[in-house]
Amino acid sequence: MLKSLGVQWALAGHSERRVIFGESDEYINGQCLKLIEQGMSVMLCIGESEAEYEQNLAGPVCAVQLRKGLAGITAEQMSRVAIAYEPVWAIGTGKVATPEIAQSVHATCRGILRDMYGDAIADQTRILYGGSVTPESVDGLMAQPDIDGALVGGASLDAAKFGRIINFQTV
């Protein structure tokens, strides 16, 4: 139905769906596979809770979510996949991971992609940061080597803020 309306991309694994609706990694993987099967592209969202973050589990939690979310997706299908790191503790809170924290998780994800699919796909797959991106945080985040863009939520509703975000300047 979405495809018939011209929708080309869909999110899978968004934190609100994981938390509120209890969507498991296996269920999210099924969504990813179905979207690709239907000729659409998918943005697989991963991210840790505040409790997991405080226990220094961001990397391991995201690694499990990424591996399970991509299960059964072939190297050829990876051109239809992007990854969004969305630390749950940052979404809608105004808290933002430091560029260093975000880069660390993104580098972990890139390494997993390298392990699963090889260098070319790891380098080509877009990994976005999506945890309360703001005009104040975007420059530092986008300066990181493994952050390929931003998945912008609430700030996209304010034209001035969104304009500043999409016109970021790397530091």
C-alpha distances in angstroms, 21 versus 10, 15, 119?
Answer: 17, 10, 35
CA-CA distance, 106 to 115, in Å (whole number)? 14
How remote is the C-alpha of 21 from its chain's centroid?
19
Residues linked to residue 41 through DSSP beta bridges, in sequence order? 9
Locus of tokens 């991106």: 133
Task: Pick the catalytic residue from 16, 23, 26, 86.
Answer: 86
Task: Pick the catalytic residue from 14, 23, 48, 106.
Answer: 14
To the query of whether residue 106 is one of the catalytic residues in this protein, the response is: no
Q: Which residues are catalytic, by number?
A: 14, 86
